[in-house]
Amino acid sequence: MSRISEVLDRIKGVREYTVSLVDAVPESQWFRQPAEGVTHVGWQVGHLAMAQYRLALDRVRGVQPGDESLIGERVLSLYGKDSVPDSDPAANATVEEIRAAFDAVHARVIEEISTMDDDILDEPATQPHPVFGLKGGALEWSAQHEMLHAGQIGLLRRLFGEDWLR
């Protein structure tokens, strides 16, 4: 198995797990914050869409024409690094917008990265990052970062308990 295939398998596996958590949360609960200062599922999913775009596309092949059809500036800015979750649905992108970006970015990552040679993994990332310097590191961090946020989604589900319908 090629190195690029191994990285893609990790990215796909983590996404399957994340989707299983997200799909179990009713859309009516996406902007619910169980306590002040705690995030919400909408922010987590939007942040994952933004991060996967920045890590697995932007830092690997650079911003390309047409990327705005994958993820719009609204999602990039609302759920970027240092953004603050807001429980008001009107202050967020819609669930449909967030989920569309989450799914479209991931599909494009799989499509583009699967056609690349292993050599790309050893090339410098297009932008510096404190965790990695190479494109392979950007892809690995994409999977690791997503698993971290999948844990937060799992915790939110646990905090909501059985009262989904409230």
Using one digit for the tens of pLDDT, what is the confidence trace for 117-159? 999 999 999 998 999 999 999 999 999 999 999 999 999 998 8
Element (H, E) at 156: helix 135-160
Is residue 165 assigned to a domain?
no
Q: What angle do CA 118, 12, 56 make, to 5 degrees?
A: 55
Per-residue pLDDT tens, the chain, 166 aa: give them: 899 999 999 999 999 999 999 999 999 999 999 887 789 999 999 999 999 999 999 999 999 999 999 999 999 999 999 999 999 999 999 999 999 999 999 999 999 999 999 999 999 999 989 999 999 999 999 999 999 999 999 999 988 886 554 4
**DSSP state at residue 89:** G
**DSSP state at residue 134:** B
Is residue 24 assigned to a domain?
yes
How many structural domains comprise the chain?
A: 1
- Type of residue at 94: T
Going from the C-alpha of 63 to that of each of 74, 93, 126, 149, the distances in angstroms are 16, 22, 10, 24
For residue 79, give the CATH number of its domain.
1.20.120.450
Q: Enter the tokens of residue 89.
A: 């649905």
Is residue 138 assigned to a domain?
yes
Is residue 113 assigned to a domain?
yes
Element (H, E) at 92: none
SS3 124: strand
Range(s) of the domain holding residue 69: 3-160
Going from the C-alpha of 155 to that of each of 5, 19, 89, the distances in angstroms are 30, 15, 21
